Amino acid sequence: MSVAKEKMTFADLESLICDADNMVDVLMDLLERHFGVVPDGRNYVLTQTEGNRLFFVASTAATMSMKAKKAYFEAVEGNVS
């Protein structure tokens, strides 16, 4: 007996978008805390270029997540033209 998959509705996206936004916030906090300052006498495993790319990707993900969250709430409130 197969169980029909439930369709995800527009309203179901709220928790996913908010969770993604929260996860990106945690990622950015960890990156800033661990890679924002060069440790005394220790080396990072990542090269500078890799670190720069990691920061770029995380920052871009944060921006995209915030835009998605904003668009969702605007749509829910009927503010989208």
pLDDT digits 0-9 by tens, 43-77: 666 777 777 788 888 888 888 888 888 888 877 77
Sign of CA dihedral 71, 76, 79, 81: positive
Q: Which has the closest alpha carbon to 70: 18, 29, 28, 25?
A: 18
Can you give the pLDDT at residue 3? Answer: 46
pLDDT digits (tens, 9 = 90+) for 8-51: 567 767 877 888 888 888 888 878 877 787 777 776 667 777 77
Residue 16 CA to chain centroid, in angstroms?
11
Task: Determine contact, residues 17/65, Cβ cutoff 8 Å.
Answer: yes
2 pLDDT tier (thresholds 50, 70, 90):
very low
d(CA 4, CA 77): 31
pTM: 0.57
